[in-house]
Amino acid sequence: MIKVHFFAILREQAGRDHWQGPLLEKANPKSLYDSLAREFGFSLTSKDLQVAVNDEFVDWNFSLQEGDEVVFIPPVAGG
């Protein structure tokens, strides 16, 4: 299983703060986001986002492993 945490606009659009699902073959953050975006109707595309796995920024083609925790990061606006 892999777990995805949702924040901010993604959390609101998904209607939940996390999602869990099976790790599909050759899954990467891009394929995962594209399928979740379809499922939840996200307005942002992966071009608009950054992604972190296990609390580290990674590339969109990062090889996901069993047990990974993924966060899709909308445009940040701190400060």
Partner 1 sequence: MLKKESFDFELTRAPIDEKGLRAMCADPASGGYVSFEGWVRNHSEGQQVTRLEYEAYDALALKEGRKILREALEKFGVAQIVCRHFVGPLNIGEMAVFVGVSSGHRGEAFAACRYVIDEVKHRVPIWKKEFYLNGDSGWVRCERCAEGHDHSH
Return the residues of window 5-64 that contact partner 1 according to CB under 8 A: 5, 7-9, 11-12, 43-45, 47-50, 52, 55-57
Q: Which residues contact 58 (CB under 8 A, 6 or more apart)?
A: 29, 51, 52
Contact status, residue 29 vs residue 44, Cβ threshold 8 Å:
no
Closer residue to partner 1 in complex, CB, 1/77:
77
Residue 79 makes contact with partner 1 by CB under 8 A: yes
Binding-site ranges for partner 1 (CB under 8 A): 5, 7-9, 11-12, 43-45, 47-50, 52, 55-57, 71, 73-79
